Amino acid sequence: MAVDNDGIAVVTLQRPPVNSLNLDLLQAMNNTFDDVAKNKSKGMILTSASPTVFSAGLDIMEMYKPDPKRVETFWVTLQDMWLKLFGASFPTAAAINGHAPAGGCLIATSCEYRVMLSGKFTIGLNETALGIVAPTWFQDSLRHTIPTRQAEIALTTGKMFTVDEALKVGLIDETAADKAEAIEKCKKFIKRFDKIPSLARGMTKQIFRQEVLKKLLTNRQADTKQFLDLVNQPKVQQSLELYLAMLKQKSQK
Ligand SMILES: CCCCCCCCCCCC/C=C/CC(=O)SCCNC(=O)CCNC(=O)[C@H](O)C(C)(C)COP(=O)(O)OP(=O)(O)OC[C@H]1O[C@@H](n2cnc3c(N)ncnc32)[C@H](O)[C@@H]1OP(=O)(O)O
């Protein structure tokens, strides 16, 4: 992960090849979000070092034949990442310079503003298409971003939006021709708050988001147990094995 700081922190996800979210990357993100809060940055922009993938979502390898302690830590760290990002008092924006499926879409929808590169990229919560259920807080992040009816249809169909579709439904706010332009547009959004007192801004955002945050905070243990019960089912392990093989086969073509 690289962080540039000119008052606005540009945080670049840098875990080749596809920025899949494993325990180490999630821990690094959490430490970075804490630093951004401590350094009193004007705001934070999340982007990716890959030219084609913003983030491929959760690292499937963390869930396949997992070590019991590590997989629990993985999930709790993912919850922490979402609580910190969705609940950040500082302004947040995503310069989405590539595909953003599942957990990649979660990161983007946890930010306040999204600029995505025009091109053949897709974004969405595709969990149902994979035969899994997006956790409540994943769903909440999408419902918080696009109209409820569109969110329900997208979630139940596992829809991956093209850039044009995402713009139309409000899943992204703007498009950009390249990464530099996406970052500039995100900076422009963050600079809108230059004349707004940051305490009032931050508290207003937290009040606006508190219902959704509270849902996970009060249900954390149950959410973790549900995940662990699911991931340890032999049938789920079988599906993960098949999915990994399919991904490998596709990447070798
Ligand atoms: C059937 C699944 C059952 C799961 C059950 C889980 C039970 C518990 C679930 C509860 C949690 C629910 C929440 C889940 C949220 C998630 O985020 S799940 C992850 C979903 N992500 C995806 O489905 C994305 C998969 N990846 C892609 O579609 C593509 O890789 C891409 C569009 C992002 C990029 O395409 P491209 O640039 O062509 O790269 P590839 O050649 O496909 O991949 C390169 C390389 O990376 C490996 N890889 C890709 N994604 C992941 C990943 N998410 N985790 C781990 N590894 C990944 C891919 O296999 C290639 O590896 P090799 O080079 O072949 O070694």
Q: For residue 185, give the CATH number of its domain.
A: 3.90.226.10
Question: Does the pLDDT value for residue 1 go beyond 60?
Answer: no
The pLDDT-based confidence of 3 (bands split at 50, 70, 90) is low
Across the range 60-65, mean pLDDT stands at: 97
Across the range 179-205, mean pLDDT stands at: 97
pLDDT at 222: 98
Q: Which domain holds residue 163?
A: 2-191
**If you take atom 7 of ligand 1, which residue's CA is the nearest one?**
231
CA distances from residue 168 to 112, 147, 207 in whole angstroms, order as listed: 17, 11, 27
Distance 110 CA to ligand 1 centre (A): 20
Residue 124 CA, distance from chain mean position: 10
Across the range 138-146, mean pLDDT stands at: 98
Interface ipTM: 0.96
Choose among 74, 102, 81, 3: nearest CA to 45: 3
Choose among 126, 166, 128, 130: nearest CA to 146: 166
User: What's the pLDDT tens digit per position in 20-44?
Assistant: 999 999 999 999 999 999 988 999 9
* Residue pair 121/98 in contact by the 8 Å Cβ criterion: yes
Across the range 73-83, mean pLDDT stands at: 98
Distance 57 CA to ligand 1 centre (A): 7
* Residue pair 11/17 in contact by the 8 Å Cβ criterion: no
CA–CA distance, 60 with 181 (Å, rounded to integer): 32
Question: Does the pLDDT value for residue 193 go beyond 60?
Answer: yes
103 is catalytic: yes
In short, whether 22's Cβ falls inside 6 Å of ligand 1 is no
- For residue 56, which phi and psi values (nearest 5 degrees)? -80, 5
CA–CA distance, 59 with 57 (Å, rounded to integer): 6
Number of domains in the chain: 1
Question: Does the pLDDT value for residue 16 go beyond 80?
Answer: yes
In the three-class reduction of DSSP (H, G, I as helix; E, B as strand; rest coil), residue 112 is classed as coil
Buried b (16+ CB within 10 A) or exposed e, 29-61: bbebbeebeeeebbbbbbbbebeebbbbbbbbe
Residue 215 domain flag: no
In short, whether 124's Cβ falls inside 6 Å of ligand 1 is no
Residue 116 domain flag: yes
Question: Does the pLDDT value for residue 62 go beyond 60?
Answer: yes
User: What's the pLDDT tens digit per position in 219-243?
Assistant: 999 999 999 999 999 999 999 999 9
126 is catalytic: yes
pLDDT at 111: 98
Question: Does the pLDDT value for residue 6 go beyond 90?
Answer: no
Distance 55 CA to ligand 1 centre (A): 9
Count the neighbouring beta carbons within 10 Å of the beta carbon of residue 82. Answer: 23
The pLDDT-based confidence of 251 (bands split at 50, 70, 90) is confident
Mutate to test the pocket of ligand 1, among 18, 142, 230, 253 (most ligand atoms within 8 A of CB): 18
* Residue pair 136/223 in contact by the 8 Å Cβ criterion: yes
Across the range 50-72, mean pLDDT stands at: 98
pLDDT at 2: 57
Tell me the sheet residues that pair with 175: 116
* Residue pair 58/230 in contact by the 8 Å Cβ criterion: no
pLDDT at 40: 83
Strand extents, DSSP E, the chain: 2-5, 8-13, 43-48, 92-96, 100-101, 113-117, 122-124, 161-162, 174-176
Dihedral sign from CA coordinates of 118, 120, 123, 124: positive
Residue 208 domain flag: no
The pLDDT-based confidence of 5 (bands split at 50, 70, 90) is low
Atom of ligand 1 nearest to the CA of 236: 5
Across the range 115-127, mean pLDDT stands at: 97
pLDDT at 253: 76
**If you take atom 3 of ligand 1, which residue's CA is the nearest one?**
240
Catalytic pick from 25, 85, 127, 155?
127
Residue 205 domain flag: no
Choose among 108, 105, 104: nearest CA to 94: 108
